[in-house]
Structure 1
Amino acid sequence: MVGSVACNLHGMTDEERTAHGEDPLDPGGYFIVNGTERVLMTLEDLASNKIMTEYTERYNERIYVAKVFSQYRGYRALVVVERNRKNLLEVTFPSVAGHLRFVDMMRALGMTCDADVVRAVSTDEEILTFMMQNLEESECETVECGVMYVGKKLAPNQTRDYQRKRAEFVLDNYLLPHLNYLMPRIVNEEDEECMKIVHSVRLAKAHFLGRMAEACFDLVLNRRRIDDKDHYANKRLKLAGDLMEDLFRISLNRLTRDVKYQLERASMRHRDLSIATAVRADVLTERLLHPLATGNWVGGRTGVSQLLDRIDHMSVLSHLRRVISPLSRSQPHFEARDLHPTQWGRICPSETPEGPNCGLVKNFAQMVEISKGVQSDEEIIKMLYGMGVERIGVEI
């Protein structure tokens, strides 16, 4: 990226830039690919790992939903807890067809006592009434029974051992993956310390599901409103660094697979191994340059990389500060296109194109600042404990 720490222009004074034939007023922030200037668009999306509530209709009945987009290392999974018309909670997440009973899911994650399940949700009297109905409908009393319930949903007509292993694998990898940051890469069932960490992560997932269930019940009891998807507190921006991180992750995986293939191929043909033949230099480079040159990004997104608009200096600044929404241009999306009060000071209220892109392609305000996280999580944790936040009973 021009102007970054890795750029030759970094740290130069205006006089030095002028001596090298560069414009000292050029803002940088774009890439030079095959001799053309390409700028990566900022992508706007819903916040990950945040519980959001909404209504939905099914068979002319209102369904109350709490959902979260759980994201970890590029993998994004939608986990949903909903209350059906019988006041029963159901859980859905990737790789599982259909709905799973909430209480049986809590059993599978390590909560054997009914009191623990209730406390993980809420101790409010009105919510306790709903939870009693869910406990009565539950068919599992032990952790093993809960795991087998999930396993039968995942792999029907298979052996019990396979169903158990498949259920544990899915629960550890596809259910709320953002809580897997402490999960060991290789799970050894004979290692007590390893299994202790695995069980603590599963209990943390059970408590998070309980928090989602509480949000769902609060919506039923009119204690909270549905979350506004257009509120900018519920949005996150993917800048050039995040986009390049996604691209590099996929490209590096392709490179490792190619290295493995080349090594297996050389071994089969009994050839001498060499770095030049095993690690092809063009694989990683081509995987990085092609999306930058065409704009076709990983995940099926198009138009992420665009040719920099050089009509004048104002158009350059405008193009570098553009924000694109992932919503379809062919759908109305009236609320998403409208100007939201929380965009004040963040998004320019007047600079947006006409036609189908109106309101979906926006630009940053002139004095906007983008936060990039915190330096230390420990300070935030100390601050939360100082405000009265209590531990959930499991060390994670």
Structure 2
Amino acid sequence: MGVKEGSVLPDKNQQESYIDKQFLAAPVKSAVDKFQLIPEFLKVRGLVKQHLDSFNYFVRTEIKKIVRANDLIISRVDQSIYLRYKDVWIGEPSVIMDGVTEKLSPHKCRLSDITYAAPIYVNIEYITGSHVQKTLVAKNNVIIGRMPIMLRSCCCALYGKDEAELARLGECPLDPGGYFVIKGTEKVILIQEQLSKNRIIIDTDKKGCIQASVMSSTEATKSKTVIRMEKEKIYLYLNQFTPKVPIMAVMKAMGMESDQEVVQMVGRDPRYGALLLPSIEECASQNVYTQHQALEFLEKKVKKSPYFSSPLEKEGRALGILRDVFIANIPVRQNNFRAKCIYVAVMLRRMMEAILNKDAMDDKVEDYCNIPKNLYGPQ
């Protein structure tokens, strides 16, 4: 059917006015209507797009962040001798056979029972030579390992291929990818649930004590910080310290020497000060009043480690733990712990709110915000 002569088509603005935007924005009530949306959603997103996006971000961005955060390796014998990673990237899927590098395709790996993987390349520089004469050496395109490649990802030989090219490579055009080929066998990593990273969770331990915990995750380190109230006193639990450390000693070690300032930072409610009072008194009973005294106190609480052998390495361990491991998701620049102190105050306040009002507790199981899904790459 054609358009009648003399008729006027509605312009774009008029067409948009015909659309009931409130109807489109309204929630879908019945399960039957929701089920009808699934095919349309899968046409746009597919079943594995989230896996491909996660893996692509990892190989393009996240792997560089990880190497950048751990780029320097210094000799313990002579600190002027070091090795530094300058750049890192993933090459094309290939395998070395009889000294010859051959490109790989997923179909070939399935038939040959080999892993569909690509080399990891780095550019490095390092110091070589004796104590008298040292030389800076730079090397590029150094292979440090191999990484399995997800099919249809940006590193895959199938990426961006049309149906004819996929058929030539022995692949089905309808295969969405999102899996690996390991020793000739197709492998899929299942999505796993875990507690949210870098998020304060208020709950109770096995004994029923209320605690505030954070699973810190950065490119450089991962750690779990727990602040728990036991017998009306508040303690820090961190793997690098002995079982528990008074939280007020930790605050003083980070520069918050005034008890009043700590109380005001937590909140103006007098009940917060009353809950903090036993911890303040415990800190005073340990003769910990200044930052220097607090750091000396924490040095005695640091667990023994074979990595700290010389007296120079032992000096300042507590400060290094507070800076790099304790709530690692809050960065410390030039030993300024102000932001980290504020974060601890927020943890204390939320924990005290849960003590005063049980409804302020977090539900780790039912709250979907607290249980993100583990994909192939970063979340």
Relative to the length of structure 2, the TM-score reads 0.53
Structure of greater Rg: 2
* Correspondence for 2:369: 233
Deviation at 1:118, TM superposition (A): 1.3
How does 1:309-324 map onto structure 2 within 5 Å? none
Alpha carbons of 1:138 and 1:28: their partners in 2 closer, same or farther (altered >3 Å)? Answer: same
How does 1:157-306 map onto structure 2 within 5 Å? 164-180=315-331, 183=332, 197-200=333-336, 202-222=337-357, 224-230=359-365, 231-242=367-378
Distance (Å, rounded) in 1 between the aligned partners of 2:151 and 2:358: 50
Which of 292, 311, 322 is equivalent to 1:144?
Answer: 292
* Correspondence for 2:176: 27
Q: Which amino acid aligns with 1:166?
A: R
Deviation at 1:19, TM superposition (A): 4.3
Distance (Å, rounded) in 2 between the aligned partners of 1:159 and 1:9: 53
Alpha carbons of 1:91 and 1:15: their partners in 2 closer, same or farther (altered >3 Å)? Answer: same
Distance (Å, rounded) in 1 between the aligned partners of 2:220 and 2:368: 22
Residues 31 and 37 in structure 1, CA contact (< 8 A), matched pair in contact too: yes
Deviation at 1:16, TM superposition (A): 3.5
Residues 222 and 325 in structure 2, CA contact (< 8 A), matched pair in contact too: no
Which of 75, 79, 83 is equivalent to 2:229?
Answer: 83
Deviation at 1:155, TM superposition (A): 6.7
Distance (Å, rounded) in 2 between the aligned partners of 1:159 and 1:42: 44
| Gapped regions of structure 1 (runs ≥ 5) | 184-196, 243-371, 373-396
Residues 263 and 272 in structure 2, CA contact (< 8 A), matched pair in contact too: no
Deviations 1:194-229 (A, max 9, x none): xxx2322x2222222211111111111016432111
Which of 247, 250, 258 is equivalent to 1:105?
Answer: 250
Q: Which has the higher helix share?
A: 1
Q: Which amino acid aligns with 2:335?
A: H
Alpha carbons of 1:169 and 1:20: their partners in 2 closer, same or farther (altered >3 Å)? Answer: closer
Structure with bigger RCO (C-alpha 8 Å, 6+ apart): 1
Alpha carbons of 1:217 and 1:29: their partners in 2 closer, same or farther (altered >3 Å)? Answer: same
The answer to whether residue 269 in structure 2 is matched with residue 124 in structure 1 is: yes
Deviation at 1:37, TM superposition (A): 1.9
* Correspondence for 2:199: 50
Deviation at 1:94, TM superposition (A): 1.3
Q: Which amino acid aligns with 1:80?
A: V
SS of residue matched to 1:154: coil
Deviation at 1:35, TM superposition (A): 2.6
Residues 241 and 303 in structure 2, CA contact (< 8 A), matched pair in contact too: no
Residues 83 and 89 in structure 1, CA contact (< 8 A), matched pair in contact too: yes
Alpha carbons of 1:236 and 1:126: their partners in 2 closer, same or farther (altered >3 Å)? Answer: same
User: How many residue pairs were aligned?
Assistant: 222
Residues 218 and 328 in structure 2, CA contact (< 8 A), matched pair in contact too: yes
Deviation at 1:174, TM superposition (A): 2.3
Alpha carbons of 1:74 and 1:26: their partners in 2 closer, same or farther (altered >3 Å)? Answer: farther
Deviation at 1:68, TM superposition (A): 1.3
Q: Which amino acid aligns with 2:271?
A: E
Relative to the length of structure 1, the TM-score reads 0.51
* Correspondence for 1:69: 215
Deviation at 1:29, TM superposition (A): 1.1
Deviation at 1:110, TM superposition (A): 1.0
Which of 137, 141, 165 is equivalent to 1:16?
Answer: 165
Deviation at 1:234, TM superposition (A): 0.4
Distance (Å, rounded) in 1 between the aligned partners of 2:244 and 2:348: 15
Which of 176, 187, 190 is equivalent to 1:38?
Answer: 187
Residues 221 and 325 in structure 2, CA contact (< 8 A), matched pair in contact too: no
SS of residue matched to 2:187: strand
Q: Which amino acid aligns with 2:320?
A: F
What fraction of aligned residue pairs are identical, expressed as a percent?
Answer: 26
Deviations 1:160-208 (A, max 9, x none): 987651211222222112223xx5xxxxxxxxxxxxx2322x2222222
* Correspondence for 2:38: none
Which of 107, 114, 137 is equivalent to 2:259?
Answer: 114
Distance (Å, rounded) in 2 between the aligned partners of 1:26 and 1:63: 51
Alpha carbons of 1:38 and 1:125: their partners in 2 closer, same or farther (altered >3 Å)? Answer: same
Deviations 1:80-99 (A, max 9, x none): 111122x2211111111121
| Gapped regions of structure 2 (runs ≥ 5) | 1-149
